[in-house]
Structure formats: C-alpha cells, structure tokens
Amino acid sequence: MNALAATNRNFRHAARILGLDSKVEKSLLIPFREIKVECTIPKDDGTLVSYVGFRVDPDEVNALAQLMTWKSAVADIPYGGAKGGIGCNPGDLSKSELERLTRVFTQKIHDLIGVHTDVPAPDMGTNAQTMAWILDEYSKFHGHSPAVDLGGSLGREAATGRGVVFATEALLAEHGKSIKGLTFAVQGFGNVGSWAAKIIHERGGKVVAVSDITGAVKNPDGIDIPELIRHKESTGSLKNFQGADSMDANELLVHECDVLIPCALGGVLNRENAADVKAKFIIEAANHPTDPEADEILAKKGVVILPDIYANSGGVTVSYFEWVQNIQGFMWDEEQVNKTLQNYMTRAFHNIKSMCQTHDCNLRMGAFTLGVSRVARATLLRGWEA
Ligand SMILES: NC(=O)C1=CN([C@@H]2O[C@H](COP(=O)(O)OP(=O)(O)OC[C@H]3O[C@@H](n4cnc5c(N)ncnc54)[C@H](OP(=O)(O)O)[C@@H]3O)[C@@H](O)[C@H]2O)C=CC1
Ligand SMILES: O=C(O)CCC(=O)C(=O)O
C-alpha cells in the first residue's frame, strides 16, 4: 500500500472512531494547496538538468504533509502541516549543485512560504545548511534577515532524536521499564538516528545494531555510539567500524532487541518482514515506517508501536520554539529548549493515552483521534460560510 493510501486509511479509521461528519472528513482529506515547480540548474560540468520540486505532491509528499498536520495538532502547537521536496538523490549532487537547486526551488515557491504562512524545515536529505540557503534566497525577495546564526534554535539539530528518547521513556515507564539495560536496534544513522542512538547510549541503553544506506553493524554487548559517530563522520559510512561486526542491513529490522527504532525510510515494516520482528516495542522515529498490513501483524504479536505523529514530533515542536524565539527576538538557552520539549512530549503522551482509554484503541489511533479531533474542531469553529 502506498504512503498516501495508508495515511488516508488511518485518517478514515480515526474519523469513524470520532463519528466525524462525512463532509468534514472529505474536506480534511484534500490538501489546502498543492504546488509543483520546475527547477533547472547547470551542473558543475556545465550541462543542464531539470528536477521537479513540490510543496505537497499527489502521493508521498501529500501523505507526509497530512502526517505533519495531525502531528502538529498532537503536539498542540499552532501550526498546520505541509511538506515539500525535490525529486532528486542529494547524494548524486555536489554541494554547489545542491545549493543551486535549493535556491532555484526557493525562487519558485518564495511567494507561498513565509513566517506567517508556511515555514520549511529540514527532513530527510536536508539540514540546517539547506534551510540557510532557503532563508538567504527568500530574503532577497522579502528582506528578512535574522541575526544570530541565521535564527536557528539551540537544540533543534538534536530535537527529533531527543524527542524520540523522551517519547520512548514515557512509553517504557508505563510498562514499568526504563532505557537503562534494554537493547535497541536503530535503522538509519542520519540526523534522527544518530541523535536518538547517542542519547539512548548516554542513558544506559544498549544499542546493539545500527544501519545506514551503506550497511549495518551489530554488537550484542552494545555499540560505542560516540565512537561510531566519529567513524561515520570521518569515513562517511558504518563500514569497517572496529567496535562491531558487520551484518546484512535487511536483518536490522528483525534483529534481536527490546526496542526497534526505524529512523530512515517510510514503509520499511511491511507484510514481508513484520512477522519476523523480535522487538517488543517499535518507536516510529521515521515518518510512516509501518504499513497497515504490518500494523495488523505486529498487533497480533503483541508488539507495542509508538506512532510517528507522536514519536518524532520533537522536531516540529522545537521548530515551533525556534519560530517563537525569532518572533520575540529573544533566544532561549539549550536547557530551556530541552526541558520545554520534554514537557510537550510528556503532555502529548498522556493526552494520547487518554484518547486510547476513551475510544478503546491502540496508540496509533489514540494519536490520530487526538490530532484529527483538534483540527476538525478548529475547522468547524471557523465554518464555511462566505
Ligand atoms: N530531521 C527531522 O527533524 C525529522 C525527520 N523525520 C523522519 O526521520 C527519518 C530520518 O530523517 P533524517 O534523520 O532527518 O534524515 P537524514 O537524511 O539525516 O538521514 C537518513 C538516514 O537514513 C539512512 N538510510 C537511507 N536509506 C536507508 C536504507 N535503505 N536503509 C538504512 N538506512 C537508510 C541514511 O543513510 P546514509 O547516512 O548512509 O545516507 C541516513 O543515515 C525520515 O523518515 C524523516 O522523515 C521525522 C521528523 C523530523
Ligand atoms: O521541523 C519541522 O517543522 C518539521 C519536521 C519534520 O520534517 C517532520 O516532523 O516530519
């Protein structure tokens, strides 16, 4: 099932649980706006190449935008949801080609983004540097020029991974467990995966397996994560790391562990591998890592899944703190960012649990009903009369 069909299915299930009016349901399913732009750049060798950029596309980006909407509502921050992207493999482009492409994309969408309309943020294959290029290009049209470090919040880089850890702690506490002494397998070692693994390691968790696009490593006694980060930074991959054995990357999702944390692509848990998952808990740090068929198989096995729209909401929550700080022109210290993030993550977890109790549903439906009911309530209050 593709990402959009799966996301729509979860939304419809939540709408049924909530008894949502079918017209409201239909209205919430259709994106407010879809943008598709052509981005042509000269490559470093002088040849021209064209890419297509989106701010919400008809399929995967639509699903991700929809997830952002429910996620912002679950986190209880005053944002809607959108997602953008360019159909390219960033790994195939040089840094200057990436910069040109990002700037051309920004030229095409600058009228439709902005502080009070739509704020882009990093996701897979993008980072703070990408956002700085967008900001700089946007500023040429709109004259916006924040001061310190281009206005990025302290703690934003680690925020999604840190939020994943706060979410994991909230879930484990409910089951009478803590991170210390449990074993973890982490798929993806980019922004989210490396930060989540590092903080778990600091808190006494044993990260026994990690993968990236180049392969996977395992060590039943626990991998030294700071060492692995240094190795990845210096070599660009997990290969040849001395502190662990290499393993088949496909094995990672079914590796022996207490907690599995997918931090890479969508749809990685599906009917092909769900039955073989050994973990008792899955923390969805990636967006949409579990397709609906896998959801059913895993539920039958008694695996507890902490859904993406809550588990990875630390990123957008700190993006919201960043927005608040820039509007006020007053920067918080990192401790305040992290402490406030923890409060948001803990509160959201209890709100989800309360929906689970009210509607006798699992955590995914608890999160969906929480997010969808908040957006539906706001939509109904605004009304449709001209
Ligand atoms: N960044 C954020 O703030 C947020 C991210 N997310 C989600 O988290 C996930 C990861 O995002 P982020 O960390 O930012 O992205 P990055 O681009 O920083 O990292 C992605 C990681 O996934 C790895 N990867 C790619 N393909 C595979 C594969 N087939 N098998 C194993 N690993 C693979 C990459 O490997 P390599 O390092 O070798 O390239 C890289 O380590 C995505 O689903 C994203 O949507 C959700 C909320 C917020
Ligand atoms: O920081 C943000 O605003 C968005 C983070 C993100 O890409 C996500 O939650 O999927």
CATH number at residue 130: 3.40.50.10860
Nearest atom of ligand 2 to the alpha carbon of 287: 10
d(CA 144, CA 218): 47
Q: Compute the distance from residue 2 Cα to the ligand 1 centre, in Å.
A: 19
Do 331 and 325 form a contact (C-beta atoms < 8 A)? yes
Please write the tens of the pLDDT for every residue from 3-12: 999 999 999 9
Tally of structural domains, the chain: 2
120 and 166, same domain (yes or no): no
> Does 364 reside within a domain?
no
124 and 259, same domain (yes or no): no
SS3 120: coil
> Choosing from 23, 26, 43, 83, which is the catalytic residue?
83
pLDDT tens for each residue of the chain, 386 residues long: 899 999 999 999 999 999 999 999 999 999 999 999 999 999 999 999 999 999 988 789 999 999 999 999 999 999 999 999 999 999 999 999 999 999 999 999 999 999 999 999 999 999 999 999 999 999 999 987 665 567 689 999 999 999 999 999 999 999 999 999 999 999 999 999 999 999 999 999 999 999 999 999 999 999 999 999 999 999 999 999 999 999 999 999 999 999 999 999 999 999 999 999 999 999 999 999 999 999 999 999 999 999 999 999 999 999 999 999 999 989 999 999 999 999 999 999 999 999 999 999 999 999 999 999 999 999 999 988 76
46 and 192, same domain (yes or no): no
304 and 207, same domain (yes or no): yes
281 and 166, same domain (yes or no): yes
Q: Compute the distance from residue 383 Cα to the ligand 1 centre, in Å.
A: 39
Residue nearest to atom 45 of ligand 1 (CA): 287
Domain boundary residue, one of 258, 288, 311: 311
> Does 14 reside within a domain?
no
> Does 373 reside within a domain?
no
Instruction: Please list, in sequence order, all residues whose beta carbon lies within 8 angstroms of the beta carbon of residue 228, skipping any fewer than 6 positions away.
Output: 189, 197, 210, 217, 238, 241, 243, 244
202 and 112, same domain (yes or no): no
Q: Which domain holds residue 132?
A: 33-151
CB of 311 within 6 A of ligand 2: the answer is no
189 and 142, same domain (yes or no): no
CB of 363 within 6 A of ligand 2: the answer is no
| Annotated binding-site members for substrate | 71, 319
22-29 vs 363-382: helix axis angle to the nearest 10?
Answer: 100
- Using only the alpha carbons of the chain, give its radius of gyration: 21
Do 149 and 138 form a contact (C-beta atoms < 8 A)? no
129 and 75, same domain (yes or no): yes
Q: Compute the distance from residue 190 Cα to the ligand 1 centre, in Å.
A: 5
Residue nearest to atom 4 of ligand 2 (CA): 316
CB of 189 within 6 A of ligand 1: the answer is yes
Do 179 and 200 form a contact (C-beta atoms < 8 A)? yes
> Does 348 reside within a domain?
no
What ligand is nearest to the CA atom of residue 72?
2
184 and 96, same domain (yes or no): no
Task: Check: pTM over 0.90? Answer yes or no.
Answer: yes
How many Cα atoms sit within 13 Å of 45 on the Cβ side? 3
Domain boundary residue, one of 311, 327, 357: 311
d(CA 294, CA 273): 8
What CATH number did the domain enclosing 206 receive?
3.40.50.720
pLDDT in the model for residue 150? 72
365, 367, 369, 370: CA torsion to nearest 10: 160
> Does 174 reside within a domain?
yes
| Annotated binding-site members for NAD(+) | 160, 191
173 and 296, same domain (yes or no): yes
83 assigned to active site? yes
Do 184 and 211 form a contact (C-beta atoms < 8 A)? no
> Does 6 reside within a domain?
no
Cα dist from 142 to 37, 136, 204, 284, whole Å: 20, 10, 47, 37
Q: Compute the distance from residue 122 Cα to the ligand 1 centre, in Å.
A: 11
> Does 70 reside within a domain?
yes
List strand residue ranges (DSSP E) for the chain, in order: 35-42, 48-55, 84-86, 183-187, 206-212, 215-218, 245-247, 259-262, 281-283, 304-306
| Annotated binding-site members | 71, 160, 191, 319
138 and 249, same domain (yes or no): no
pLDDT in the model for residue 148? 52
Nearest atom of ligand 1 to the alpha carbon of 252: 31
Q: Compute the distance from residue 127 Cα to the ligand 2 centre, in Å.
A: 11
CB of 249 within 6 A of ligand 1: the answer is yes
Query: How would you write 254-271 as a 3-class SS string?
Result: HCCCCEEEECCCCCCECC
Ligand 2 pocket: which of 67, 131, 310, 312 to mutate (most atoms <8 Å of CB)?
312
Do 235 and 217 form a contact (C-beta atoms < 8 A)? no
Nearest atom of ligand 1 to the alpha carbon of 216: 31
Q: How many residues does the chain have?
A: 386
Domain boundary residue, one of 311, 336, 355: 311
CB of 212 within 6 A of ligand 2: the answer is no
Burial 31-60 (b: 16+ CB within 10 A, else e): beeebebebebeeeeeeeeebebbbbbeeb
> Does 296 reside within a domain?
yes
124 and 82, same domain (yes or no): yes
